[in-house]
Structure 1
């Protein structure tokens, strides 16, 4: 009887482990850049590693960084400079894998408004959500563009309302990720003005998967398995996106398949840099992380300084899995 009870307890423990809940909070609502997560979940890859992944909608990088940093959820997707600012305020988080090795951030306007570039932004209204990474990083962009950070007025908009607001001219400029570029080209044609952040010399790391550091220390095996599956999923979606698109469309509502397919083509260019193609897909370069930290510290400010090398780890990435060169 004792042996039977011991066996049953062991079986129960195994079953519990195989169904362990793990939550990940997105930066915003699901789009193509999150498709690999939905694909791996639909394929049962996480479940096979003992992870029952719950994907939560986010409300901006700042909100997700705060939630993960406070231990409200173990994992999240956050723009890396925003994660740095949050860590400077006491958020306990570490980046596990970069999704956007190049900054996806850009500003859009209508040429018919008289704006020819960022130098003309002064006195204009920029529409974006209050928790948007572009708003948090605006002081850095403004200084690089030769503007005072107070030169513009921000108007609160949901992500879904940006294009309509620009079309209605209730705002002069909107911020958005480059993966949404095709949608705006179709909407505005030759009247569309665009400036990527790189046009003023800003190419900081973008969306990255972060983990609560205390959770990481107590659950290294789970975090290692999650990271390995996620890296593998992104690599699979680079090779063939249709199965990933199908999983995304089944797992999220209100999406247009053609738009998401267009987005993924842009996303692949954002995923690709010297480190992700030669070291590992999702890998951070320590020198770039330090450069981003120095930029955030000098142009925006970090409340409490920390060693930027502690902001990330490449420990759980498979070096044999690399981003394609083209």
Structure 2
């Protein structure tokens, strides 16, 4: 189960499936569109799906509620979260968000993590009003001024720059001191315990697929658009350029593509616990593993 509807960051899954990599390994893969990281974490955590993609801090909250999840690959080593607004609205930065409307879907990870962002910036989390929007309606809502601010992943940054030009205001969460792990590949813990070899196979194929798409995105784009209608190839290419930046950090370039750093996982756990709260404490070291990744596959350094 994906975190959202399919876009460039999911292209490697479609590419590996089109190439027959999963099928050749004995895995019949069905890719289901998602409706937010909270839902995908819940589905995988309850066993409704064996694997899923979810925002890491959102998954931390889910595990605190009892979801049975383990991360086996970091897709975004850097937080993709960001807020956008129009400078012409009078908003100069996030300190001026209070009394304004933020548009995003109810299951959006940024809405769930909003208290952490607000407290980090130094504003009251209750000082804004959220408006429910579909992902596709965000830009239109900002343009029509039915909302004042939208949240979105950095992937879509180029589209907004083209749409709004110099009037566009933006802050990345990582620039506000909240560089948490983003989308990650999770497996149901019971499934992992019963079929560790299948999990290793699935994780290694997926890792290899992301490596292939980093080297050459065009075959991956072709596989994605052949299976998913309504996507602009140019927009997806722009997205993939940003996604590669989000995938790259010290760990993914020196340990393995998709590898987690234990200290960063601990820091994410501490932040969620302090600024949002967890229903139940747990050891964050049990939340992830790098054991199913090929250590010879690494994210290339920036060129």
Range into which the TM-score falls when normalised by the shorter chain: over 0.9
What displacement does 1:198 show? 1.7
User: Which of 11, 23, 30 is 2:6 aligned to?
Assistant: 30
CA distance in 1, matches of 2:157, 2:186: 26
Distance 1:253 1:158 in 2: 17
Match of 1:75 among 51, 56, 80: 51
The answer to whether 1:193 aligns with 2:169 is yes
Q: Secondary structure at the residue paired with 1:73?
A: coil
Q: Please report how far the alpha carbon of residue 246 of structure 1 lies from its aligned counterpart in structure 2 after TM superposition.
A: 0.2
1:43 matched to 2:19: yes
How far apart are 1:52 and its partner, in Å? 1.0
- CA distance in structure 1 between the partners assigned to 2:226 and 2:234 by the alignment: 15
**Structure 1 residue runs of 4+, over 6 Å off?**
none
Give the drift of 1:265. 0.2
Distance in 2 of aligned mates of 1:149 and 1:242: 42
Give the Cα separation in 2 of the matches to 1:45 and 1:74.
Answer: 18
1:116 and 2:92 equivalent?
A: yes
Work out the number of aligned pairs and report it.
302
Show structure 2 runs of 5+ residues with no match: none
List gaps (5 residues or longer) in structure 1: 1-24
Partner of 2:128: 152
Partner of 1:126: 102
- Kindly indicate whether structure 1 or structure 2 has the higher relative contact order, using CA contacts under 8 Å at least 6 residues apart: 2
State the distance in 2 between where 1:39 and 1:295 align: 35
Q: TM-score, normalised by structure 2?
A: 0.99
- Correspondence list, 1:121-270, <5 A: 121-270=97-246
Separation in structure 2 between the aligned mates of residue 45 and residue 68 of structure 1, nearest angstrom: 22
Residues 187-239 of structure 1, C-alpha deviations (whole Å, 9 max, x = no match): 10110000000222110000000010001100111111100100000000000
- Of 47, 52, 56, 2:32 maps to 56
Residues in 2 aligned to 1:104 and 1:200: alpha-carbon distance in whole angstroms? 12
Shift of 1:150: 0.2
Q: What value does the CA root-mean-square deviation take over the aligned residues?
A: 0.5
Structure 1 match to 2:64: 88
Whole-Å separation in 1 of the counterparts to 2:81 and 2:259: 20
SS at match of 1:56: coil
Q: What TM-score results when the alignment is normalised by the length of structure 1?
A: 0.92
